[in-house]
Structure 1
Amino acid sequence: MLRGGGEVIVTMPEQQGGMLDAALAYAAQGAPVFPCKLDKSPRTANGFYAATTDEEQIRRWWAAHPNDLIGLRTGEESGVFVLDMDNGEIGRASLRHLEAEHGRLPDTYTVRTSGNPEKGKGPGEHRYFRYPVGVGKVKSSTSQIGTNLDVRGDGGYVIASP
C-alpha cells in the first residue's frame, strides 16, 4: 500500500498474475500506466503522455508485450510524486543533509530500487508522496535538491513495482 502522511495513495497489487494484472490493478485505482521496455524507456510513441487507466488499451499493450515493465505517470494527473534516491550511500547522505536542513520527511510508502550497475550506480529507493493540491506544480528534476536525489512529478514517471 502506498501511504503518504497516514493516508493511502495507491494500493500495491498483491496478485501473482504478472505485469498485465498489476498494470490493471494500478489503473483501477486511477493511476495512469503505460508500457516500458526492459531498459525502462517508454514503449509508446508519446512516452508517459500515453499513460491511461483505460482497461482495453492496457490489455492491448500487454498482449503485444507481456513482459513489459509498468510505467507509472507521476505528477498532478496521477496524484503522486516520487522522491527518487539513487546510488546507495551517496544518495542517503544527500537525503540526510536535506532533512537536517529542512526537517524530517514524513513516513511514506518506499520501494527499494536496484540502481544501474552498468552505469556505476548503486541501489536506491522511490518514496511516494501524495501530490499537493493548491501549492503549485511539483516538477520533475534531476539532482536539484541534492546529489542523486531526483523528483519525479509533472513531466515524469517511475517504473512501478509489479
Structure 2
Amino acid sequence: MGSVKEEFTVAVRKNEVVGAVAPFQDHWLPLTNLDLLLPPLDFGVFFCYKKPTSSHSSPMLSVLKKSLAEALISYYGLGGEVVPNALGEPELLCNNRGVDFVEAYADIELRNLNFHNPDDSIEGKFVPTKKRGVLAVQCLWPKPTLVSAIIKV
C-alpha cells in the first residue's frame, strides 16, 4: 500500500438526496434494548472498483442512484432518521427522508494513500460526514486508476 503522506483535496461536485422509489406511509420503529444501551456508533465502509472504460461518470452514477432508490424500498429504515419520541428516547422514524448522495473528486491516486493509518489519509476526506439521517453515500472519482464508493452508516 502507499506510504506517501501528502496533502490532497476532495472537491464535492454534487450533493443530492436519494429516496425510495415507492411511496409508503411514515411510521416509527423503536430501537432495541441493545441499541439503547450502546453509545451511538458511526462507521464507514470504503469500496474500490476498477475505473470504467468511459471517462464520463454520469451513466455509472445514474445506475447507482437508481439501485439505491430501489434498495430503499426493502431497507426503508436506511432512508429514515433517528429522532426522539415523546419520552425523549431515540426511535427510527421511517419517513423516506432519503439518503445523502455525494459525488466528489480527489486529486490523488489511491496507491498513494496510507491504508495502514486510514485516520491520516481517508477519514474526513473519503468517508462522507453524515449530516442527518441514517446513511450517507459518496461516490469519489480519484485520479485515473480506480473509482470508489464510500458508505457512511
Query: Greater CA radius of gyration, 1 or 2?
Result: 2
Q: Which has the higher contact order (CA 8 A, sep 6+)?
A: 2
More strand by share: 2
Instruction: Decide: shared fold, TM above 0.5.
Output: no
**TM-score (norm. length: structure 1):** 0.25
More helix by share: 1
**TM-score (norm. length: structure 2):** 0.26
